[in-house]
Amino acid sequence: MIEILPSLLAADFARLGEQIAQVTEAGVNFLHFDVMDGHFVPNISFGVPVLQSLRKSTKLAIDVHLMIEDADTYAPMFVAAGADCVSVHQEACPHLDRTIRMIQSEGARAGVVLNPATPLVTVENVLPLVDYILLMSVNPGFGGQSFIPYVLEKVRALREQRERLGLSFSIEIDGGVSVDNVGRVAEAGVDWVVAGSSVFGAPNPAHAVTAMRQAAMDAVARRV
CB of 132 to ligand 5SP, least distance (A): 14
Residues recognised as catalytic: 34, 174
> Residues 6, 221, 179, 112: is their CA dihedral positive or negative?
positive
CA–CA dist 203, 186 (Å, integer): 24
Cβ-closest position to ligand 5SP: 196
In one letter, which amino acid is 146? S
Residues with Cβ within 8 Å of 168's Cβ and at least 6 positions away in sequence, in order, are 162
125-164 residues near ligand 5SP, rule: CB under 6 A: 138, 140-145
In one letter, which amino acid is 141? G
The only residue of 22, 90, 115, 197 in contact with ligand 5SP, by rule CB under 6 A: 197
Question: Site size for ligand 5SP, by CB under 6 A?
Answer: 22
CB of 165 to ligand 5SP, least distance (A): 27
DSSP SS3 for 86: strand
User: What is the layout of strands, in order, in the sheet containing 85-89?
Assistant: 3-6, 192-195, 170-174, 132-136, 109-114, 85-89, 61-67, 30-36
116 binds ligand 5SP (CB under 6 A): no
The only residue of 194, 202, 211, 212 in contact with ligand 5SP, by rule CB under 6 A: 194
Residue ranges of the annotated binding site for substrate are: 7, 65, 141-144, 174-176, 196-197
- The binding site for ligand 5SP (CB under 6 A) comprises 7, 9-10, 32, 34, 65, 138, 140-145, 174-177, 194-198
